[in-house]
Amino acid sequence: MIIPIINVDLHDIHERIETRLNLHDPERQRRLVLVIVCIALLLDNMLYMVIVPIIPIYLHDIYGGGEKASTVKQVFTYVNYTFENGTIFNSTKKANIAPMIPYTGNEDASIGILFASKAIVQLLVNPLSGTFIDRIGYETPMLIGLIVIFVSTLMFAFGGSYSALFLARSLQGVGSAFADTSGMAMIADRYTEEQGRSKALGIALAFISFGSLFAPPFGGVLFSLMGSKSAPFVFLALIALVDGLLVFYVMKPVRLERNMLKASGDHPKGTPIHHLIMDPYIAVCAGGLVMANVSLAFLEPTIAMWMTETMNATEWEIGLVWLPAFFPHVAGVYMTVKLMKKYPEHPWLITAIGLCLEGASCLIVPFCTNYGAVIIPLMIDCFGIALVDTAILPTLGYLVDTRHVSVYGSVYAIADISYSLAYAFGPIVAGSIVATVGFTWLNIGIFVSNIMYAPLLIFLKKAYKYKPFEERGDGSN
């Protein structure tokens, strides 16, 4: 095919890109795969959280009166100055302000439904996406996920009704089910040695954390600078487009390799997802991921109101209270990678310590009396989450390698289901518990559940007695 304007053969362009990126070098290729996956996870989590400071403006435009909250008003102030000599001077001052957003009473329920819809849809789609990934490979589902996320992001940018926002949020759940699961599976497939896999998955988790914690201030600042609620979403849509192009070019050699394996009949068939979840080791790991994310999923929708009632926290304090937790989360990822390198058969102990730290931090939160004090247990909580996630995700890949077939779509779909369970029901259940028995008892319940689950992880000690069925030096299946 020739492009008439520049008279260049597209095939030549593809060859030049492959040569420049050195895509046929396995080490170079798997590093690019890690970059692609990290961008996809960053994008998905930024899109999930970027609406936090913007959604009240969206909903006011939908539920409010005639004037839009996103419309900047120009205000003129007339001032008279009288000097000592009797001279009178008139001055007109001009300023731009955003109109106040009145509370209508509909926002709380609407925001709760919007936040839960993504996780619920993702929960429903994950079993299908995992099976689909196992059958056709990791690249096409990743591309499908990014395309769906791209469309949902544009719908957020230009949607003018609540139904459009709800559809966009639900579509994001579909895209996440494909992109997140295939991304984790791609990392496990390319990084076959345990140390490299732990490090790569740890880097991916750091991008998830950064996306979740950086997105709210990013959305608020970009909205303030650009004066448009669409600006953050257009920016994220461009990131999705660029990442999709990277998938198309970088994964071309892998697609050709996979097609050759399928043609020769040597392509392995993955273990069905319902068989994997029946594996007791995988079930314990999945339960650990659920428990690890319960604290975050239950605290995020309830802590804002508690801080307002108990310490008169301002909106900016509530918005930034989670941001310092990014640093201990990254520290937890780094520490876990180092510990698993030194003690490769003890991820169960690292996970148990992480769960206990999370439980203890939740027990401390309700007894904090000022803003600075609240930040400390939240930092401990995110440190504990990092320990659990960074230890469990490589363990899931190891269990598939040693007890099943080294095809990773379904097992990381189970991991994604575990996350989605916490975030689908967290806002609903946590709100009901707080309304019934209060914020303090909610945190006591999280503490007790985490401490009770931690001893079950001892069961994973036996898992590392298994050895892989076969060693794969090329990093592919």
pLDDT in tens, 283-299: 999 999 999 999 988 98
pLDDT band at 9 (very low <50, low <70, confident <90, very high): low
> Is residue 25 pLDDT above 50, yes or no?
yes
**pLDDT, mean of residues 450-458:** 95
> Is residue 126 pLDDT above 90, yes or no?
yes
Which tokens go with 207? 């991008």
Q: So what's the pLDDT on residue 64?
A: 56
Partner residues linked to 90 by β-bridges: 80
User: Has residue 344 been placed in a domain?
Assistant: yes
- Beta-strand relationship, 73-82 and 88-97: antiparallel
pLDDT band at 138 (very low <50, low <70, confident <90, very high): confident
pLDDT band at 22 (very low <50, low <70, confident <90, very high): low
Q: So what's the pLDDT on residue 109?
A: 60
Which residues, at least 6 apart from 457, have a Cβ–Cβ distance to it below 8 Å?
284, 288, 348, 349, 351, 352, 355
> Is residue 105 pLDDT above 50, yes or no?
no
User: Has residue 125 been placed in a domain?
Assistant: yes
**pLDDT, mean of residues 398-416:** 92
Torsion over CA: 122, 124, 128, 130 (sign):
positive
Instruction: Identify the top-confidence range among 175-179, 210-214, 263-267.
Output: 175-179
Which of 107-121, 144-158, 312-326 has the weakest average pLDDT?
A: 107-121
Q: So what's the pLDDT on residue 225?
A: 77
Q: So what's the pLDDT on residue 423?
A: 85
User: Has residue 158 been placed in a domain?
Assistant: yes
- Return the H-helix or E-strand segment holding 107: helix 107-136
- Whose tokens are 């469990």? That residue is 392
- Beta-strand relationship, 8-9 and 88-97: unpaired
Domain containing residue 315: 25-60+110-465
> Is residue 97 pLDDT above 60, yes or no?
no
**pLDDT, mean of residues 229-252:** 87
User: Has residue 271 been placed in a domain?
Assistant: yes
pLDDT band at 209 (very low <50, low <70, confident <90, very high): confident
**pLDDT, mean of residues 373-377:** 93
Q: So what's the pLDDT on residue 212?
A: 82
Which of 98-112, 210-224, 387-401 has the weakest average pLDDT?
A: 98-112
* Residue 398: φ, ψ to 5°: -65, -40
Q: So what's the pLDDT on residue 467?
A: 62
Number of compact structural domains in the chain: 1
Instruction: Determine the Cα–Cα distance for residues 439 and 110; give it in Å rounded to an integer.
Output: 22
CATH number at residue 127: 1.20.1250.20
Tally of helices (H runs) and strands (E runs) in the chain: 18, 4
**pLDDT, mean of residues 432-436:** 87
- Whose tokens are 């609240």? That residue is 374
Query: Do 297 and 430 meet the contact criterion of CB atoms below 8 Å apart?
Result: yes
DSSP 265: T
User: Has residue 410 been placed in a domain?
Assistant: yes
Instruction: Identify the top-confidence range among 76-80, 127-131, 137-141.
Output: 127-131
Instruction: Identify the top-confidence range among 64-68, 249-253, 378-382.
Output: 378-382
- pTM of the entire structure? 0.81
> Is residue 210 pLDDT above 80, yes or no?
yes
Query: Do 416 and 379 meet the contact criterion of CB atoms below 8 Å apart?
Result: no
> Is residue 245 pLDDT above 70, yes or no?
yes
> Is residue 473 pLDDT above 50, yes or no?
no
**pLDDT, mean of residues 196-222:** 85
pLDDT band at 38 (very low <50, low <70, confident <90, very high): very high
- Reduced to 3 states (helix: H, G, I; strand: E, B; else coil), residue 191 is coil
**pLDDT, mean of residues 219-230:** 76
Which residues, at least 6 apart from 75, have a Cβ–Cβ distance to it below 8 Å?
94, 95, 96, 97
- Whose tokens are 């209270």? That residue is 321
Instruction: Determine the Cα–Cα distance for residues 24 and 250; give it in Å rounded to an integer.
Output: 9
Q: So what's the pLDDT on residue 148?
A: 95
Q: So what's the pLDDT on residue 11?
A: 59
Which tokens go with 404? 């099943």
- Reduced to 3 states (helix: H, G, I; strand: E, B; else coil), residue 102 is coil
Instruction: Determine the Cα–Cα distance for residues 149 and 236; give it in Å rounded to an integer.
Output: 9
Which of 13-22, 26-35, 220-229, 390-399 has the weakest average pLDDT?
A: 13-22
Higher-pLDDT residue of 235, 466: 235
**pLDDT, mean of residues 305-321:** 79
User: Has residue 72 been placed in a domain?
Assistant: no
User: Has residue 237 been placed in a domain?
Assistant: yes
User: Has residue 34 been placed in a domain?
Assistant: yes
> Is residue 224 pLDDT above 60, yes or no?
yes
**pLDDT, mean of residues 128-153:** 92
